[in-house]
Structure 1
Amino acid sequence: MAQPVGIGPATGGDHVHRSFRTAVVALRLCDPEVAPSALADDYGGLVGLLADLPPDTDIPDVDALGTIMTHAWGSTTIDALVRTNSVRQAARTANVHHSTMQAHLETIAAELGYDPLDDGIGRTRFGLASLVWRLRNSRVLDLPAPGHTAHGSPR
C-alpha cells in the first residue's frame, strides 16, 4: 500500500470532486513520521474551508507561526499545544517540563499578539493558523531526488 495516504469522505457521484479535494488536503496535513494516513473526516468542516482557501490568502497569524517554527522547539510545541487542553498536557505530549512549555507559550503569545490557549477566539485562530501553516509547508507531495530510493540511499 502507498503511504502517506489522505482519505476523503464517502460520497455520491455528484460530490466525488469534493471528496478528492479534501483527501488531498488531508494528505498534505499528514505527518508520515507519526501517522501514515489522514482522514478528511477527522478535520470536520475545517477540511472544506482549507480546500477552498486560495493559496495566496494573507493570514498574518500564519506568517507569525512561520517565525515561531524557526525555533528548534517550534513545530513540536505548536503541535502539542493544538492537540491538548492545557500547558501541562502539552508539556507531556512534547516531552518537556511544564515550565519550559510555559516559557515557549509566552514566546508564542508575544509573537502572535494574543493568547493561543484562550478559551475563546484565540484557540480557534491558533488552530486554524497551525493547519494553514502545515498545508503551506507540507512536503508529502514532493518527489525524491532522481537516483534515490525511498530511504534516501542511491540506487
Structure 2
Amino acid sequence: MRELLGRLTVLDPAASESLKIIEYFDALVAGGAGAEAIVRAAAILGATTAGARVRGRVVRIDADGARVDDGDGDRATPAESVWLERDGEPTVNDAMILDRARLALAIVEMRSAPMTSAVDRVIDAGASSVDRQAAAHRLKLDGPVRIVAAPPPGPQPFVGPATVLATPRGPVWIGLGNGPAPTAPAGVSLAADLDGIPSACADALLALRLTDARHPVVDAADLGVLIGLARAHERSTEAYPDVEVLATLDARTLDALDVVVDSDSIRSAATTLLLHHSTLQARHETWTRALGYDPLSPRGRARYLAARLLHRLR
C-alpha cells in the first residue's frame, strides 16, 4: 500500500489522496475504533463537520475533531447513514470519504467492543463526568494512569485497554495502564487522576510527535517546561523566525546540530559524529551565522531547543 501510494503521489495526486483515505479508515477499523472515531475521521479528512446515525442517535463532529450538538442532524436525508455538512460544492474526495466511513461504521456495528468504547469515553474531555466515571469503573482505573500514544498500523503495541484515535495527522493508538514499557516509537504521559486523563492524552500525542531515531520514546514529564511551550504552540498560528530558519536547513544539518547541542563540547560531539573537531568547529561557526546566535552558549542552547521542539511539531 505504501509503495503504491508513493508512486501514485507522483503520477496521480488525486488517486494518492484516495489511497490515503482508505489507509486511514482501514487503520481505524483494524485497531477496533468505535463509531465516534469513524465520524471524527470523516470530519478531519473532509475538513468540515461530519454526522452519522449510530444506534438511532445522531453523532456530529466538527473539523477540529470536537463533538457538536445534533441540532443540524436534519441536514441528512433518511437514507444517509453518514454525511458531510459542507455548504459549498463537494470536493473531489467527499465521495470516497463517505464510502469508506459507511463501510467502517458497518464493520464497527457488527462487532462489540465495550472496552474500546470505554477508553474512547474516558479520554474524551467533552464527555460528561458521569459517563467518564462509569467508563473508568469499567476499565478498573484507580489513581494515577499512564497514557501511551503510538502509531498504527499493526497490532496493539502495548498491554492494557486501548483504542485507535482519529487525529489530524492520522490514526494513533492510545493505551491506558501501567504495564510494560511501550515499544518505540511512543509518547508517554501520566494523569494524576480521572480528570487529568484527557489533558494527559493530549500531552502523550505531543510527545509522540517529538520522537526520532535518538529519542524513540518521549515522556512528557521529561520535557518539563517545554511541554507547556508545545501546548501553547498547538493553539497558536504565530510564525517564529527561529523556527523558520530551522525549516531552511536539511535533515543532516539538523541532526548534527542536535548532537552538538546535546554534547558537553565540540570535541565530544565530533567523536559522536565521526568528524575531526576542527571540521566541526568550522561548521559551528557557519551555523552560528545561519541561526543568528551561538547554539552552544547557555542562552543559545535554550533558544535552539525551544525552536527545534516547535519545528518538530510543525
TM over 0.5: yes
**Are residues 1:7 and 2:185 paired?**
no
- TM-score, normalised on structure 1? 0.75
SS in 1 for 2:259: helix
Alignment match, 1:37: 217
Structure 2, unmatched stretches of 5+, are: 1-156, 158-182
Q: Distance in 2 between matches of 1:107 and 1:101?
A: 10
- The answer (yes or no) to whether the contact 1:76–1:94 under 8 Å persists in 2 is no
| C-alpha separation in 2, matches of 1:14 and 1:106 | 49
Match of residue 100 from structure 1: 279
- Take 1:35 and 1:114, find their aligned partners in 2: how far apart are those partners? 25
Contact 2:246–2:254, Cα closer than 8 Å, also in 1: no
User: Which aligned pairs between 1:15-54 and structure 2 lie closer than 5 A?
Assistant: 15-31=196-212, 33-53=213-233, 54=235
Q: CA RMSD in A?
A: 1.9
Residues 41, 93 of structure 1: alpha-carbon distance in 2 compared, 3 angstrom cutoff: farther
Q: Mind listing any 5+ residue stretches in structure 1 that lack a counterpart?
A: 137-155
| TM superposition shift of 1:73 | 3.3
Residues 4-34 of structure 1, C-alpha deviations (whole Å, 9 max, x = no match): 2110123212222221121111100001x34
Q: Which moved more, 1:8-17 or 1:39-48?
A: 8-17
The TM-score normalised by the length of structure 2 is 0.39
CA deviation profile, 1:22-63 (whole Å, cap 9, x unmatched): 1111100001x3443221112112112212213532111111
Equivalent residue for 1:122? 300
CA shift, 1:3, in A, is 4.3
Task: Answer 1 or 2: higher relative contact order, Cα 8 Å, separation at least 6.
Answer: 1
For residues 244 and 204 of structure 2, the distance between their equivalents in structure 1, rounded to whole angstroms, comes to 25
Could you tell me how far apart the structure 2 residues matched to 1:44 and 1:117 are? 21
Amino acid at match of 1:38: V
Trace 1:38-117 onto structure 2 (pairs within 5 A). Answer: 38-53=218-233, 54=235, 56-67=237-248, 69-70=249-250, 73-117=252-296
What amino acid sits opposite 2:305 in the alignment? G
Residue identity opposite 1:104 in structure 2: R
Q: State the aligned residue count.
A: 132
Q: Which amino acid aligns with 1:73?
A: R
Q: Report the identity percentage.
A: 39
Deviations 1:77-134 (A, max 9, x none): 1110221222112222222221222122111110111111112x22211111111112
